[in-house]
């Protein structure tokens, strides 16, 4: 059974001009211990999908349809208190800015110990020992001394290490990491990604890694979902999506990564920009930018369909109308 199953999820925002649909009919699953990368431009709906899973959509946004199951149990309709318990105990979160997860007024030790004792059956002394172990594990030198320091006494990279320790503190089965390295120096980014990957492998924790950086996905993920205008346009094994992208948007996305273009000489950047939520075109939302668009693309919206080892939402892969 999938650890996480997201089924036909829709996230919507009521506005004076009507309903804006920011995440539209999104379905995917994550197996225990699996790393799923979710990639897309800003505004594609990837962060909102992550926020919907952990019950953190800012009002007036809401889940308009679909469901989220963790270990087969529905979690999208839980009361706030029960959802808070799921967050932390069963799903850990790592956000772009470490200061969103850390309280500046408390020492990191207090925050770790509080998380541990809230979710696990441990005494204060046991929790402190676990906190020290976690700090050592995430690469904080001299944890005995550092545990009593406040967040501002750490550098950005070190703070993100503390957040990862905090996310893992209650032994969750899944971590949702949303742009975990975007706010950090480039030199630190690779270290944090390597750390997250190693820890999750060692602990058997699954990860939903949300990023606009395909390079990060290439190094970390088992599978990748590519989002465009609120929908998943392609999902498949990471190597296949990178080297044999099936959706024209993914092909363009890969074309913008120099290390991948080097291996493939036939790709070009895509002209134009992703549509605003208020102006998503009929049919395939990508059709105004797609070099392969044909009549059906302008009239009918494609669902995900089999395309090699991946699934792609593109009429080029519909059996009777197959062109490519």
Residues near ligand SF4 (CB under 6 A): 247-248, 284, 286-287, 290, 292-293, 297, 302, 314-316
In contact, 312 and 234? CB cutoff 8 Å: yes
* CB of residue 136 to ligand SF4, shortest distance in Å: 48
In contact, 226 and 243? CB cutoff 8 Å: no
In contact, 54 and 91? CB cutoff 8 Å: yes
Nearer to ligand SF4, 141 or 323 (CB): 323
Nearer to ligand SF4, 194 or 282 (CB): 282
* CB of residue 249 to ligand SF4, shortest distance in Å: 6
**140-149 — which CB contacts under 8 Å span 24+ positions?**
140/165, 146/108, 147/107, 147/108, 147/109, 147/112, 148/107, 148/109, 149/107, 149/108
Nearer to ligand SF4, 142 or 324 (CB): 324
Tokens 């036909």 belong to 8
* CB of residue 126 to ligand SF4, shortest distance in Å: 54
Number of residues written out for the chain: 324
Sheet containing 73-74, strands listed edge to edge, beginning at the edge strand earlier in sequence: 18-30, 4-15, 62-70, 73-74
Nearer to ligand SF4, 26 or 113 (CB): 26
Nearer to ligand SF4, 13 or 228 (CB): 228
* CB of residue 269 to ligand SF4, shortest distance in Å: 16
Pairing of strands 305-307, 73-74: unpaired
* CB of residue 285 to ligand SF4, shortest distance in Å: 8
């Amino acid at each position: 059974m999938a650890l996480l199953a997201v089924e036909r999820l829709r996230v919507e925002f009521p506005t004076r001009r009507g309903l804006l649909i920011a995440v539209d009919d999104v379905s995917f699953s994550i197996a225990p211990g699996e790393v799923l990368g979710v990639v897309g431009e800003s505004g594609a709906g990837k962060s909102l999908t992550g926020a919907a899973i952990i019950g953190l959509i800012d009002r007036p946004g809401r889940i308009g349809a679909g469901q989220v199951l963790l270990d087969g149990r529905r979690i999208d309709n839980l009361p706030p208190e029960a959802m808070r318990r799921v967050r932390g105990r069963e799903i850990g979160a790592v956000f772009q800015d470490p200061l969103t997860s850390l309280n500046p007024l408390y020492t990191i030790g207090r925050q770790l110990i509080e998380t541990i004792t809230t979710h696990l059956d441990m005494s204060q002394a046991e929790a402190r020992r676990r906190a020290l172990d976690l700090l050592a594990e995430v690469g904080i030198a001299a944890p005995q001394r550092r545990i009593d320091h406040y967040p501002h006494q750490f550098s950005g990279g070190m703070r993100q290490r503390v957040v990862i320790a905090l996310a893992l503190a209650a032994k969750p089965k899944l971590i949702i990491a949303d742009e975990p390295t975007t706010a950090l120096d480039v030199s630190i980014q690779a270290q944090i990604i390597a750390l997250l990957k190693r820890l999750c492998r060692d602990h058997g924790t699954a990860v939903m890694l949300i990023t606009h950086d395909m390079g990060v996905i290439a190094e970390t993920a088992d599978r990748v979902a590519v989002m465009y205008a609120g929908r998943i346009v392609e999902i498949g094994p990471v190597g296949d999506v990178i080297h044999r992208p099936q959706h024209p948007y993914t092909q363009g996305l890969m074309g913008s990564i120099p290390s991948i273009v080097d291996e493939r000489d036939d790709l070009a950047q895509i002209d134009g920009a992703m549509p605003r939520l208020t102006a998503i075109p009929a049919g395939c939302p990508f059709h105004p930018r797609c070099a392969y668009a044909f009549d059906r693309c302008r009239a009918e919206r494609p669902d995900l369909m089999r395309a090699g080892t991946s699934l792609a939402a593109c009429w080029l892969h519909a059996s009777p109308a197959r062109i490519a």
